[in-house]
A = this chain, B = another copy of it.
Amino acid sequence: MRVIFNEEMKAVADDLDRMAQGVRKAIQGAGEALLKSDVEAAQSVIDGDIELDALEASVIDQCVKLLAKQNPVATDLRVVVSTMRLATTLERMGDLAKHVAETSRRAYPGSPLPDEAKEIFASMQDFLDETADRLVSMLADREAKTAELVIADDDKLDALHAKTFELALDESVDLSRQQIIDIVLLGRFLERLGDHAVSAARRVVFIVSGFDPSKAPSRDEEGAID
């Protein structure tokens, strides 16, 4: 039973890898769209979201079948439940990247961001690109330690998010109302991407630790999710 469980979880893990890679591609594409007014990148993110939706449905479907057939218990069961929740978190990250791409496409051939905002958003983007790389490598290498970096670094994104508000409120910077709106919403989308990345990182720790019980985190860490 254990062998079959591990084999079937491997198939699910492959789909999770694909989802994480898809999310990384969506985040990178959203950045190209936002910071370089790359409308093809924007369209690609928007069109690609359907694949992430399908992968989420596939992961959940496989997990449900695995629960029915194998009746996993204890850690195995919690790994399956966390896997379903991770798929949902990754799917939501795809939605947020899509929102960024849509906002960028709407402003094309211009940018939704004034020049004064670009440095802050470029820093947020760098942060999220690195976070997405970490999520992909955590899943691929079954390496839980990287998660600590993702979780610890979240304050940096929050500080950048605070700067977007400072800019939007700074009367010495000439901004149209549309620009104020876009700064606030784009900042929110990127900050939420970071929140979900932290949530995903916690789940990945739990899931990869489940494959190797010597790395198991305490129940509290899993409880902190969402």
A residues lining the B interface (CB < 8 Å)? 53, 56-57, 60, 63-64, 67-68, 71-74, 77-78, 81, 84-85, 88, 91-92, 165, 168-169, 171, 175, 177-178, 180-181, 184-185, 188, 223, 226
Contacts and interface: CB of A to CB of B under 8 A. Distances in A.
Closest A-B pairs by Cβ, 7 of them: A71-B71, A68-B73, A180-B180, A184-B184, A181-B184, A169-B177, A68-B77
Nearest to A173: B177
A169 B181 contact: yes
Contacts of A185: 184, 188
A193 to B, nearest CB: 15
Contacts of A91: 226
A71 B67 CA distance: 7
Nearest to A171: B177
B226 A88 contact: yes
Contacts of A178: 169
A11 to B, nearest CB: 18
A68 B188 CA distance: 39
A222 B86 CA distance: 18
A147 to B, nearest CB: 20
A201 B180 CA distance: 34
A204 to B, nearest CB: 17
A215 to B, nearest CB: 20
Contacts of A68: 71-74, 77
A12 B171 CA distance: 52
A178 B74 CA distance: 50
A169 B81 CA distance: 44
A57 to B, nearest CB: 6
